[in-house]
């Protein structure tokens, strides 16, 4: 009787968990079932669209992000056809598997704790992450990078708990693949793991940590080195390292209030978990700190909330926070307060979602796109700028220049001049401009591209802040 009861309880628990994941997946699909012509999503769509049209990344068109996202969307389109919703489904899947990784990593962390009463509290972290994602651009290199990072962390924690070279190799390989989607975040994870292993070696003087470091970095280098099979080191160094390092800060600095609030909360969580500071928890909090520092150049809502997963992983441990070293008194105030603060970023996505209809497809509803398709069809090229790269994919047109986005301060004067010359050579039928999108980047209209368009094109249509200019005859 006891065995049957135990089995039935386990079955109910599994069914309950499966139902939970189905609900989460449905929420994600509902949150992201729209095409808002988002410029960040347009970067990936335009890159994959260029690949579909035979253009070579970093040679025929310029990007300063790693190639992974472009080629994943390109591969999916090559198999299933060129559709926006296929790319969107890839992004939603990335968010979903990131949330699953948060759950299983939390499960590893609480398995070392003396309490066994966590129950469904482990499911809160992934749910918060899914709700927060409602404001993210799903088709994005940051989003497609994050599940690889999270599952790499999972195997690092598993290796710390079980001391297995296989786990270290798995963590290293996933970190290496993460570099292929977002170079700096993948490198941040690799460096943080190696720093932690080095600290463990200095603490324990155990040669195991040197061996596991070698296994980790060796596995991480394999996918990274694969880049050199397709592009020379000089191009990768210039486009993926030097260009973002010296130009990104010029247009991406934002108010640091969000950064400071998040940093304060990390300090609070670290203090609350001071009596639960296992090696695994220490690594998680170290990684959270380093990830936040890596967001300093663009500390906006999207980039900060995306990297809050380490806090969500350790949040269930707050359930058993001891108020004194010798007492395990429980404080509902602390538990509820921590989860409330973690859930606070959910408010913005809910407001955003309530302001738009579900399953919105701007590609068919946009009057500007309809106008472009009707009146700009006599040329294979259009120019969409300064930062509307998705228009190329939506209209199935090509960019006359190598640059999917052109931002003064980010792009060099030489690049702007090159783009203006390309526009002059290819003579796109229309130029689509929206300066409101780039207002936050302090865009300067006095540049070769805008001056050429003003001189040779005339405005013929307007929808909101989007203007369509037509080549003068």
Q: Could you give the percent of the chain with pLDDT greater than 70? A: 86
**Side-by-side strand order, sheet with 383-385:** 383-385, 430-433, 466-471, 457-463
User: 408 φ, ψ to 5°?
Assistant: -65, 135
User: 359 φ, ψ to 5°?
Assistant: 55, 40
Q: 214-236, pLDDT tens digit by residue?
A: 999 999 999 999 999 999 999 99
- Helix runs in 226-346, H state only: 233-236, 243-247, 249-252, 257-272, 279-294, 301-306, 309-314, 332-343
Which whole-number Å values give the CA distances from 253 to 185, 257, 288, 305, 472, in the listed order? 18, 12, 21, 17, 38
How many whole angstroms separate alpha carbon 193 and alpha carbon 287?
8
Tokens of 263: 């940093």
Rg, Å, the chain Cα set: 24
Residue 310 DSSP label: H
Q: 448-463, pLDDT tens digit by residue?
A: 999 999 999 999 999 9
Which whole-number Å values give the CA distances from 436 to 43, 389, 445, in the listed order? 18, 15, 12
Residue 87 · residue 73 · CB < 8 Å:
yes
How many whole angstroms separate alpha carbon 238 and alpha carbon 413?
16
Q: Looking at the predicted structure, is the pLDDT value of residue 334 above 70?
A: no
User: 278 φ, ψ to 5°?
Assistant: -70, 170
Tokens of 320: 């058993």
User: pTM of whole model > 0.75?
Assistant: yes
Tokens of 392: 């190329």
Q: Looking at the predicted structure, is the pLDDT value of residue 331 above 90?
A: no
Paired residues of 469 in beta bridges: 431, 459
Q: Looking at the predicted structure, is the pLDDT value of residue 1 above 90?
A: no
> What is the pLDDT, as a whole number, of residue 5?
65
> What is the pLDDT, as a whole number, of residue 421?
97
> What is the pLDDT, as a whole number, of residue 16?
81
Q: 4-56, pLDDT tens digit by residue?
A: 566 666 666 677 888 999 999 998 998 898 888 899 999 999 999 999 999 99
> What is the pLDDT, as a whole number, of residue 6?
62
* Averaged pLDDT, 98-121: 79
Tokens of 277: 């500071």
Q: Looking at the predicted structure, is the pLDDT value of residue 357 above 60?
A: no
Apex 169 CA angle, 164 and 171, nearest 5: 95
Place of tokens 């497809």: 361
> What pLDDT band is residue 2 in, cutting at 50, 70 and 90?
very low
Which whole-number Å values give the CA distances from 237 to 228, 234, 240, 362, 450, in the listed order? 11, 5, 6, 37, 30
**What secondary structure does DSSP assign to 35-64, as a single string?**
E---HHHHHHHHHHHHHHTTPPBTTTBB-S
């Amino acid at each position: 009787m006891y065995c049957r009861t135990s089995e039935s309880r386990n079955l109910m628990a599994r069914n309950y968990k499966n139902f939970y994941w189905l609900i989460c997946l449905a929420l994600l699909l509902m949150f992201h079932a729209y095409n808002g012509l988002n410029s960040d999503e347009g970067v990936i769509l335009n890159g994959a669209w260029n690949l579909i049209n035979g253009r070579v990344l970093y040679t025929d068109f310029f990007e300063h992000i790693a190639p992974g996202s472009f080629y994943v969307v390109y591969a999916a389109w090559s198999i299933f056809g060129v559709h926006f919703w296929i790319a969107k489904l890839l992004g939603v899947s990335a968010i979903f598997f990131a949330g699953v990784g948060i759950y299983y990593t939390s499960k590893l962390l609480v398995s070392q704790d003396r309490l066994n009463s966590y129950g469904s509290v482990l499911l809160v972290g992934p749910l918060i992450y899914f709700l927060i994602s409602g404001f993210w651009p799903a088709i994005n290199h940051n989003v497609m990078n994050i599940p690889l990072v999270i599952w790499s962390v999972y195997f690092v924690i598993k290796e710390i708990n079980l001391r297995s070279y296989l786990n270290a190799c798995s963590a290293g390989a996933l970190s290496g693949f993460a570099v292929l989607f977002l170079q700096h975040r993948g490198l941040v994870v690799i460096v943080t793991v190696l720093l932690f292993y080095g600290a463990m070696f200095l603490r324990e003087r155990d040669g195991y940590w040197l061996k596991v470091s070698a296994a980790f970095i060796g596995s991480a280098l394999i996918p990274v080195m694969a880049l050199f099979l397709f592009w020379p080191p000089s191009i990768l160094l210039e486009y993926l390292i030097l260009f973002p390092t010296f130009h990104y800060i010029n247009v991406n600095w934002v108010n640091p209030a969000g950064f400071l609030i998040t940093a304060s909360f990390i300090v609070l969580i670290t203090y609350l978990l001071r009596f639960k500071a296992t090696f695994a928890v220490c690594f998680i909090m170290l990684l959270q700190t380093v990830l936040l520092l890596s967001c300093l150049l663009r500390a906006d809502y999207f980039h900060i909330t995306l990297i809050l997963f380490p806090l969500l992983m350790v949040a269930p441990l707050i359930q058993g926070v001891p108020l004194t070293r010798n007492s395990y008194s429980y404080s509902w105030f602390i538990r509820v307060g921590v989860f409330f603060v973690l859930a606070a970023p959910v408010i913005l996505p809910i407001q955003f979602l309530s302001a738009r209809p579900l399953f919105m497809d701007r590609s068919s509803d946009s009057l500007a796109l309809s106008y472009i398709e009707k009146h700009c069809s006599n040329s294979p090229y259009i120019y969409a700028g300064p930062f509307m790269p998705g228009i190329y994919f939506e209209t199935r047109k090509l960019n006359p220049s190598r640059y999917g986005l052109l931002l003064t301060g980010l792009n060099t004067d030489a690049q702007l001049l090159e783009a203006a010359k390309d526009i002059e050579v290819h003579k796109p039928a229309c130029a689509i401009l929206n300066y409101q999108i780039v207002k936050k980047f302090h865009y300067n209209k006095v540049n070769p591209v805008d001056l050429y368009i003003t001189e040779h094109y005339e405005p013929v249509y307007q929808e909101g802040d989007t203007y369509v200019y037509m080549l003068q005859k």
